[in-house]
Chains A and B, each alone.
Chain A
Amino acid sequence: MSAIELNNLNIAYSSVQVVHGASLTVEEGESFALVGESGSGKSTILKAICGLNDEWTGEIKLYGEKVDPRKRADISRISQMVFQDPYGSLHPRKTVDTTLSEPLTIHGIKDNGDRVVEMLNAVGLDQRYRFRFPHQMSGGQRQRVAIARALMLKPKLMLLDEPTSALDVSVQAEILNLLKQLRKDQNLTFLLVTHDLPVVSFLCDRLAVMKKGKIVEIATRDQLAKGTFNEPYSQELYQASKHEHVA
């Protein structure tokens, strides 16, 4: 069974159409990337899948179940999201402990902090961080907390919206390693949105290249490594990234 299936997805923001007829399938356990420049509609697709935007037509299926935008079922236990900005994605007045316990409280899961401790360990944060406020942590540490929060409900699907683009190179490496490790350990499916092709190469199996709201091409990691895209636009993106990575 595939984890995500999009069929002819159209998304409009107040009458401006930003995604045109996107179709793709992400298999269970796969790590898939949506790649494109700003304004290509990649984040918009992510928001439609998780339910932050209901202004779409077409079909979204999660694990075989059709999603109805008007009658939103709670998919929080199936899918969770990690956001781009580690400074904006944590509530500034809540401690790490409160942030992590919140999803359990919402779903009435009885737990005396064991899962919080376990998740902090899983994302490589020591217990000293448990009762800190976000402003007492660095960007990388905050992003770890955000990842831990996404994992609290044991979802199968993780939606990653540029999870490392606001971080320093060395911190990015740590977070990428962590994501890769977690995916292996917890058997997660990833849908990653990014503009950074090398990140895709490290973390993903396949990628869809988007341009102006359309999916131009779906390619494999192998094609990315060798630079053998079929579409000229994908090739252009590849060259631009390559240009940067001569060193």
Chain B
Amino acid sequence: MSQKLLEVEDLRVTFPTHQGDVEVVKGISFDLGRERLAIVGESGSGKSMTGRAILKLIRSPGRVTAKKFVFDGIDLNKQSERQMRKLRGARISMVMQDPKFSLNPVLSIEDQIAEALRTHQTLTRKELDEKVLHMLEQVRINDPARVAKLYPHEVSGGMGQRIMIAMMLIPEPDLLIADEPTSALDVSVQAQVLDLIDNLIREKGMGLILISHDLNLVANYADRVLVMNAGEIVEQRDAADLQNATHPYTQGLLNAMPRLDETRDELPTLDRTQWAAT
């Protein structure tokens, strides 16, 4: 691991409710270099909240607190909303689950990607066009000149997600947060999109936080894995070593998945009472 890109200590996300405050992320700590880190967990584990908290995108009345919250030498605790807006997109980007909801339906692909660039840099129209086409090529879109003129409803889910990635990567951020980037896609397209993210991350030497519910998937596309349950990190492991997970929750998750050559008559299930989820 080279120098630290992101340091998080005792990160908490709290929402007030009628019955008092509820912590959805309960004081987690982790570091990230220019590497690929995965956060895995089931719904309600707090994994997505963690991703959003890094960008300080938790909506009020939710609160984010951390003892240490440093991104590339910048103390995120001290950043105002305005300063955060400069960081978002330019230095830290986020790819969301469903391209259908993240692309603006009334802008062409070209304008959409250009927009992402224009908010952070001033460029001439020509430079802009060139960059956009180059980026579309990088996300392996055949015939980028044609696709650039299309509107979001005219492209498939897989292509939409690639366009999202192009949009997020064109300002050349240092950290990409991908929240379930492929769960809305078909299996065959999933691999393509993940391979693409993987290649671009390596080429540009960026950091990646991959948030997913799928242990198998992250095992292939991350260096390190954090397993979260009920707002806490229950296990941290190298991805290659995931098979040897020791925490019963991780093991439970691994075993609960059916296999292609399934011979078991019954799938083992988690005993939830052990980690009384909220």
Contacts and interface: CB of A to CB of B under 8 A. Distances in A.
Nearest to A245: B216
Contact of A198 (B191, B213, B217, B259): B259
23 contacts: A37-B187, A37-B189, A38-B186, A168-B43, A169-B213, A169-B215, A170-B252, A170-B256, A172-B256, A176-B267, A177-B267, A195-B186, A195-B187, A201-B262, A202-B258, A202-B264, A224-B260, A225-B262, A236-B188, A241-B260, A246-B219, A246-B220, A247-B219
Contacts of B215: 169, 247
Given A170-B270, A197-B260, A247 B191 contact: no
A135 interface: no
Nearest to A139: B43
B243 interface: yes
A37 B260 contact: no
B253 interface: yes
Interface string B255-276: 0111111101111111010000
B242 interface: yes
B42 A168 contact: yes
A137 interface: no
A100 B122 CA distance: 62
A180 B216 contact: no
Contacts of A241: 187, 260
Interface in A163-214: 168-174, 176-177, 180, 195-199, 201-202
Interface string A218-242: 0000001111000000001110111
Given A196-B187, A198-B260, 20 more contacts: A168-B42, A169-B213, A169-B214, A169-B215, A170-B252, A170-B253, A170-B256, A170-B269, A173-B267, A173-B268, A180-B266, A202-B262, A225-B261, A227-B260, A237-B187, A240-B191, A244-B187, A245-B257, A245-B259, A246-B220
Contacts of B253: 169-170
Contacts of B42: 168-171
B242 to A, nearest CB: 6
Contacts of A195: 186-187
Given A198-B260, A225-B262, A244 B216 contact: yes
B254 interface: yes
B177 to A, nearest CB: 21
B188 A173 contact: no
Nearest to A238: B260
Given A174-B269, A177-B267, A198-B262, A240 B157 contact: no
A244 B256 contact: no
Contacts of B220: 243-244, 246-247
B236 interface: no
Interface of B: 42-43, 157, 186-191, 213-217, 219-220, 242-243, 252-254, 256-262, 264-270, 272
A167 B157 CA distance: 21
Contacts of B267: 173-174, 176-177, 202
A197 to B, nearest CB: 6
A171 B268 CA distance: 11
Contacts of A226: 261
A202 B3 CA distance: 45
B257 A198 contact: yes
Contacts of B261: 201, 224-226
Nearest to A203: B258
Contacts of A225: 260-262
A247 B252 contact: no
A75 B256 CA distance: 35
Contacts of B265: 180
Most buried by A among B258, B261, B267: B258
B266 A177 contact: yes
A50 B270 CA distance: 34
A199 B216 contact: no
B254 A247 contact: yes
A238 B262 CA distance: 14
Contacts of A171: 42
* CB-CB nearest 5 A-B residue pairs: A225-B261, A173-B256, A173-B267, A202-B258, A247-B219
Contacts of B268: 173
B190 A244 contact: yes
A195 B219 CA distance: 21
Contacts of A170: 42, 252-253, 256, 269-270, 272
A168 B259 contact: no
A229 to B, nearest CB: 12
Contacts of A227: 260
A134 B216 CA distance: 31
Contacts of B254: 247
A173 B260 contact: no
A180 B269 CA distance: 14
A201 B191 CA distance: 21
